[in-house]
Structure 1
Amino acid sequence: MNTKIILKPKEDTTSTFSIRIDKSLLSRFDILSNESGYSRNELIKFAMEHYIDSVEVLKKDTKK
């Protein structure tokens, strides 16, 4: 996918929750965090927003 993600200044309207992810994915976020200067949390938030904006849910075919 060649879609660029634009990093914008952060906002202060947050909630906290936890998730479990593979250590390799966490490592990739840490590397990007170090390279970009954004926190791991901010980058994961941006990734989640991008996913929600891009996902399409297919409905089950009710005819069988």
Structure 2
Amino acid sequence: MAAELKVTLVRSHIGQPESMKGTLLGLGLKKREKSVVLQDTPEIRGMIRKVAHLVKVEE
């Protein structure tokens, strides 16, 4: 079974470019301090890397 990542939005998307807002929505993060559990894939890692300054990741 693939590993999972817990991703939490810790900073607001307000004032960020539209591409970052879209990336957060793609990850399923809509509100601050909310978390989602995602499969650990290269695509998800790339999305997390793009918004790394806004999220906290736990393995």
Instruction: Using structure 1 for the length normalisation, give the TM-score.
Output: 0.31
Instruction: Using structure 2 for the length normalisation, give the TM-score.
Output: 0.33
Structure with greater helix percent: 1
Structure with greater strand percent: 2
| Greater Cα radius of gyration, structure 1 or 2 | 1
